[in-house]
């Protein structure tokens, strides 16, 4: 069965650079979520989209933005990167508010 | 404030030694409680959804139960391949979306 696809799997950036993370949800899923998971931490909700419209927003820094495109894929854009942004970033998708299925994540390292 | 607390933080079991993981929650109207398994460096893998007190779900050696204040994940006769972090998460009534509030997880190690 198709799963949530994230790219890239690993990303190394320098401080103050910009990063773009991509997410391809499970086909026919209408909701996409982004989570950030720091080392030894639980996933923290960043932002979500329902039918390409932003539906909820969590503790997402102003330096981050996201959008969902007409083909339902989503991108998380992160600017002015800081060392503290180093984390695993997960995308998840669901059909409305049923169980969310997570991708394998993008490991971002800021040096 | 909506909150999820898992205990213990870490659990070591011998193969075949059954035990339970606890997830306590305080939320403004529970819409759903979810259990996930996470292996190091990988995405959470969905296990169960529970919606109402008294509900139970089973899958292989795992059984999840739900009361009005907490959920338990029972592991019967665990095997080394059950070693992972188990995450509990809730959807709260304070949100009109499906976002999840996670607990800190229980890291389970099963020794042969």
- CA nearest to A56 within chain B: B97
CA angle A102, A103, A106 (to 5 degrees): 125
Specify the higher pLDDT residue, B78 or B30: B78
Give me the mean pLDDT over the A3-15 stretch: 98
Give residue B67's pLDDT band: very low, low, confident or very high (50, 70, 90): very high
Q: What is the distance between the alpha carbons of residues A100 and A102, in angstroms, rounded to a whole number?
A: 6
Q: Distance, in angstroms, between A1 CA and closest chain B CA?
A: 14
Q: Does B100 touch chain A (CB under 8 A)?
A: yes
Give residue A60's pLDDT band: very low, low, confident or very high (50, 70, 90): very high
Looking at residue B50, what is its pLDDT?
96
Q: Select the residue of B36, B98, B101 nearest A97 (Cβ to Cβ).
A: B98
Give residue B92's pLDDT band: very low, low, confident or very high (50, 70, 90): confident
Contacts of A33 in chain B (CB under 8 A): 98-100
Burial string for B95-107 (b: 16+ CB within 10 Å, else e) reads bebbbbbbbbbbb
Interchain contact, A102 vs B46, CB within 8 Å: yes
Instruction: Check pLDDT > 80 for residue B96.
Output: no
Looking at residue B93, what is its pLDDT?
79
Percentage of residues in chain B with pLDDT exceeding 90?
Answer: 88
Give residue A2's pLDDT band: very low, low, confident or very high (50, 70, 90): confident
Contacts of B44 in chain A (CB under 8 A): 43, 90, 102
Q: Does A38 touch chain B (CB under 8 A)?
A: no
Instruction: Check pLDDT > 90 for residue A24.
Output: yes
Q: Does A55 touch chain B (CB under 8 A)?
A: yes
* Mean pLDDT, chain B, whole residue set: 95
Q: Counting one residue from A and one from B, how many pairs have CB atoms under 8 Å apart?
A: 65
Q: What share of residues in chain A are helix, strand, coil (percent, to 5)?
A: 5, 50, 45
Q: By the 8 A CB rule, do B105 and B84 touch?
A: no
Looking at residue B98, what is its pLDDT?
87
Q: Distance, in angstroms, between B98 CA and closest chain A CA?
A: 5
Contacts of A102 in chain B (CB under 8 A): 36, 43-46
Give per-residue pLDDT as tens, B1-30.
Answer: 889 999 999 999 999 999 999 999 999 889
Give per-residue pLDDT as tens, A77-101.
Answer: 999 999 999 999 999 999 987 899 9
Give me the mean pLDDT over the A40-62 stretch: 94
Looking at residue A14, what is its pLDDT?
98
What's the Cα-to-Cα distance from B90 to each of A10, A67, A94, B2, rounded to whole Å? 29, 25, 15, 9
Interchain contact, A43 vs B101, CB within 8 Å: no
Q: Does A41 touch chain B (CB under 8 A)?
A: yes
DSSP A15: T
Q: Distance, in angstroms, between A34 CA and closest chain B CA?
A: 9
């Amino acid at each position: 069965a198709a799963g949530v696809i994230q790219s890239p799997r690993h990303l190394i950036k320098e401080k103050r650079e910009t990063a773009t993370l991509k997410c391809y949800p499970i086909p026919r899923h209408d909701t996409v979520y982004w989570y950030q998971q720091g080392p030894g931490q639980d996933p923290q909700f960043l932002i979500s989209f329902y039918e390409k419209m932003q539906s909820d927003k969590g503790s997402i820094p102003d330096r981050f933005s996201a959008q969902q495109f007409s083909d339902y894929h989503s991108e998380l854009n992160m600017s002015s990167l800081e060392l503290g942004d180093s984390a695993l970033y997960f995308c998840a998708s669901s059909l409305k508010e049923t169980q969310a299925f997570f991708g394998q994540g993008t490991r971002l390292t800021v040096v | 404030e909506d909150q999820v607390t898992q205990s213990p933080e870490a659990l070591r079991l011998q193969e075949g030694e059954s035990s339970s993981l606890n997830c306590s929650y305080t939320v403004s109207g529970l819409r759903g409680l979810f259990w996930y398994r996470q292996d190091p460096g990988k995405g959470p893998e969905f296990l169960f959804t529970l919606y109402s007190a008294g509900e139970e779900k089973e899958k292989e050696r795992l059984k999840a139960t739900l009361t009005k204040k907490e959920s338990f994940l029972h592991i019967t006769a665990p095997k080394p391949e059950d070693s992972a972090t188990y995450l509990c998460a809730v959807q709260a009534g304070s949100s009109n979306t499906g976002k999840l509030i996670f607990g800190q997880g229980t890291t389970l190690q099963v020794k042969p």
